[in-house]
Amino acid sequence: MQDKSLDDAAQLLGLDRLDLRILSALQADGRIANLKLAEAIGLSPTAVLARVQRLTRDGYILGYEARLNPLKLGAGMLVFVEVLLDRTTPNVFDAFKAAVQVRPEIMECHMVAGGFDYLLKTRSADMNDYRNFAGTVLWQLPGVRETRTYAVMEEVKNSARLALPGV
């Protein structure tokens, strides 16, 4: 019965079991050679390559990138910031979104429902570097009325992997 529910979940996503296994393997190792991936999945290299190309074309795979060590690259301080805008109008939202796109210190920006408008994930070298960023960039972003800063003391879990049904 579990196989049937797995097939149903995969179909809802527009995928089959082999697609899910390919996505899982690529999440674990985005640099896996096509031949090794084919062996792991149990298909020919040509069939696996065609599936990977289709998964990419259809938007299931967004891209590939290396995960870098922020501690070794001078960006060891992780800070989350709640941002409350002074007005919630389309032009203020648009100006804010455009401004955060060009700031490399802002790694993620999410519009949220609740007591504030945006949640930012930022990286800095240290508290002094973050303080400089806050004063010269963050508080100057369009429409910012108020911010709340949460410096991370310990990163307990950091993963970009998605849970896939049956994998």
Domain 77-151 has CATH 3.40.50.720: no
pLDDT digits (tens, 9 = 90+) for 75-123: 999 999 999 999 999 999 999 999 999 999 999 999 999 999 999 999 9
For residue 3, pLDDT beyond 70: no
- HSE, CB side, 13 Å, CA atoms: give it for residue 104: 3
Mean local confidence (pLDDT), 46-51? 98
d(CA 94, CA 85): 12
The model carries a pTM of 0.86
16-28: per-residue pLDDT in tens? 999 999 999 999 9
- Smallest CA-to-CA distance from 152 within 60, 81, 56 is with 81
Query: How many alpha carbons lie under 13 Å from residue 23 in its C-beta half-sphere?
Result: 25
User: Residues 6 or more apart from 19 whose CB is under 8 A from it?
Assistant: 10, 51, 55, 60
Q: Domain 2-57, what fold?
A: Arc Repressor Mutant, subunit A (1.10.10)
Where do the structural domains in the chain lie, given as residue ranges? 2-57, 77-151
